Amino acid sequence: MVSSQPFKLNKIELISHIHIDQKIQMDFFTSILNTIGSGATAYIYASRLRDPQTRPNTLAGFQLAESGAVPFLTNLAERASAERDTWLAEKLTIHAADEKRHGQIFAHGLKQLGKQVMTRAEMKQQTEQSEQKPKNPSPFFAKYYRDYDPPSLKAENIDWLVFMGSTYILELDASKDFARMARALSERESKSRNLQQSILSVAQDETRHAAYLYEAMQRRLSPTEVDAIVTEWRKRKIDAMFAMVGEMIKTGGNSRSLVKDVAPTEIEQPAAQLVEA
Ligand SMILES: [Fe+2]
Ligand SMILES: [Fe+2]
């Protein structure tokens, strides 16, 4: 008589093989989509940075994004400290300081072009004067953090694993995007070369941020659980990239100016001072 045990084992084996096959298939398509999406965004960013017409607005966008992360990270560092996770608190404090420096690097790049970011009031005034309706502020983040309402993403509320997983993917990809963008800049001209070196140093910091966030997940979870979180945010990133690229193709990118002219006398300080040794 054949016992049911071998059958059960075979069934389990079969199911696990199906799962493995699905995983391989999913990983294959995910990786293709990721390559296409990353290639499209890298191309768009690199060409916008290389083009003198779009370079100021592109730098301004990066300045706002990098500096904008500082209060969030600082609040998270305080929260980690209050929760007695000193390791994480220290990493977040360094992370906040790095992002502040990144904001300064892009601000300096803008200043070299005789531009600076408009104040919030000036941007508001511009929107009011323009006939254009204000656009969805970020189709990328709307898609990336879908299913999460804004209050649940605030520093005081965000689930640590949501923060770590989502930020890990963003930092990892940012490091590659910045490195590609830096390479797109001309090395023949000194201002452009300085900006290139500064952006490469930003890319190195982003790699370090991704590494500590991955380690932070490893400190809390098993390798399989870390993999599951990384896979989930990788898929979300792909959806978000396509949403952003689609919006850029539809609207031709952000036509709203984020910058204004600065007086040439204010242009000083070599960019190298902002680059960590
Ligand atoms: Fe950064
Ligand atoms: Fe970063």
User: Ligand 2: distance of its center to the CA of 139 in Å?
Assistant: 20
- How far, in Å, CA of 230 to CA of 210, rounded? 12
Domain count, the chain: 1
CA 233 to chain centre: 12
The ligand minimizing its distance to the Cα of 212 is 2
pLDDT tens profile 100-144: 999 999 999 999 989 999 887 877 777 777 766 556 668 899 999
User: Is 1 contained in some domain?
Assistant: no
User: Ligand 1: distance of its center to the CA of 203 in Å?
Assistant: 8
User: Ligand 1: distance of its center to the CA of 173 in Å?
Assistant: 11
Q: Is 213 exposed, middle or buried (0-12, 13-18, 19+ CB in 10 A)?
A: buried
Residue for token digits 């960590």?
A: 276
* 41-55, 99-113, 165-179, 252-266: least confident range: 252-266
User: Is 2 contained in some domain?
Assistant: no
User: Ligand 2: distance of its center to the CA of 96 in Å?
Assistant: 8
- How far, in Å, CA of 84 to CA of 26, rounded? 39
The ligand minimizing its distance to the Cα of 63 is 1
User: Ligand 2: distance of its center to the CA of 276 in Å?
Assistant: 15
Q: Per the structure block, which two tokens stand in for 205?
A: 């910091």
Residues with CB under 5 Å of ion ligand 1 are 66, 99, 102
Helices 190-220, 223-251: crossing angle, 10 deg rounding: 140
The full 3-state SS of 67-81, as one line of letters, equals HHHHHHHHHHHHHHH
Share of the chain above pLDDT 90, in %: 52
Q: What is the pLDDT of residue 227?
A: 96
User: Is 216 contained in some domain?
Assistant: yes
User: Ligand 1: distance of its center to the CA of 7 in Å?
Assistant: 54
The ligand minimizing its distance to the Cα of 206 is 2
* 12-26, 151-165, 257-271: least confident range: 12-26
User: Is 5 contained in some domain?
Assistant: no
Say if residues 113 and 56 touch (Cβ distance below 8 Å): yes
The full 3-state SS of 137-176, as one line of letters, equals CCHHHHHHCCCCCHHHHCCCCCCHHHHHHHHHHHHHHHHH
Question: For residue 178, what are the CA distances in angstroms to 1, 9, 182?
Answer: 66, 49, 6
User: Is 32 contained in some domain?
Assistant: yes
Q: Summarize the confidence of residues 250-256 as an average pLDDT.
A: 66
The ligand minimizing its distance to the Cα of 170 is 2
User: Is 3 contained in some domain?
Assistant: no
Residue for token digits 């640590």?
A: 160
Q: Write out the residue range of the structural domain in which residue 216 sits.
A: 11-275
Query: CATH number, domain at 23?
Result: 1.20.910.10
Q: Summarize the confidence of residues 241-250 as an average pLDDT.
A: 82
User: Ligand 1: distance of its center to the CA of 197 in Å?
Assistant: 14
- How far, in Å, CA of 199 to CA of 70, rounded? 18
Residue for token digits 């949403």?
A: 243
